[in-house]
Amino acid sequence: MKAIIRKELYSALHSPIFYGVTVFFLVFVSVWLFYLQRYFALDSATLRPFFAAFPLAMILAVPALTMKGWAEERKLGSIELLLTMPTSEWDLVLGKFFAAFSLLCMILALTIPVPLMLSVLGSFDVGVIVGEYIGTVLLSASTISLGLLFSALSKNQASAFLGSAVVLVVMMLINQAATRLPVLIADFINFFSLSFHFEAFSKGIVDTRDVAFFILATILFLFLNVRVILYRKWD
């Protein structure tokens, strides 16, 4: 697993894709906060508008980080070499997961200067900001595992990017469409919405139900990824 993580990190850090994703993410959340939300006109010591942009930015950032995970291995033919190595499929999947997850966490760490810069303008609740970052990390884990699953299902990077991006759009924005539906149907739809489970974290509330959802979703997507790899191995 460590060898896979080192390989993936070395490849990503020497690729312009990672730096392009980093610039896109930072610019997007900054423009969202200061221009679209007009933060300085809110006159309120809260970063909820800032963290509300994170799920939207991940719709494009996560597929870009994960599309190479398995699709590139299939294109180069190196997936056969990986599958014949004396290691389990879980080690391979977790190695790629932790590598991509580490890259996204690096990008999230670069957003910390924004709260630090704004903290001099008002009295912010540090606990709320910590809760918001906890939710962001959990959301990142689930979206990364989903992106890698689609990379394993796809034959090339383009289809992996488009497939995971479309599914993330649905899972992020489906709760907006559920607001006009009956309560029972809306609750059922919201259960599968990533942004719905992130709403409490965006308020600084760490709800154990939402924590459990993100953890179980991550485990489920990783399990499905392993099953796909096993199918490829025996196909």
Closest CA relative to residue 115, chosen from 199, 54, 189, 194 = 54
In tens digits, what is the pLDDT along the chain, a chain of 235 residues? Answer: 888 889 889 988 888 999 999 999 999 999 988 887 777 777 777 788 888 889 899 999 999 999 888 878 777 777 777 777 777 888 889 999 999 999 999 999 999 998 888 887 777 778 888 888 999 999 999 999 999 999 888 888 888 899 999 999 888 887 776 667 777 777 777 787 888 888 888 777 888 888 999 999 999 999 999 998 887 666 5
The 10s digit of each residue's pLDDT in 117-154 is 888 777 777 888 888 899 999 999 999 999 999 988 88
In this predicted structure, what is the pLDDT of residue 104?
94
Contact between residue 104 and residue 140 where contact means Cβ atoms under 8 Å apart: yes
In the DSSP assignment, the letter for residue 203 is T
In this predicted structure, what is the pLDDT of residue 233?
64
Write the DSSP string, 99-137.
HHHHHHHHHHHTTTHHHHHHGGGS---HHHHHHHHHHHH
CA distances from 63 to 76, 85, 154, 213 (A): 19, 27, 12, 21
Structural domain boundaries in the chain: 2-234
| pTM of the shown model | 0.89
Length of the chain: 235
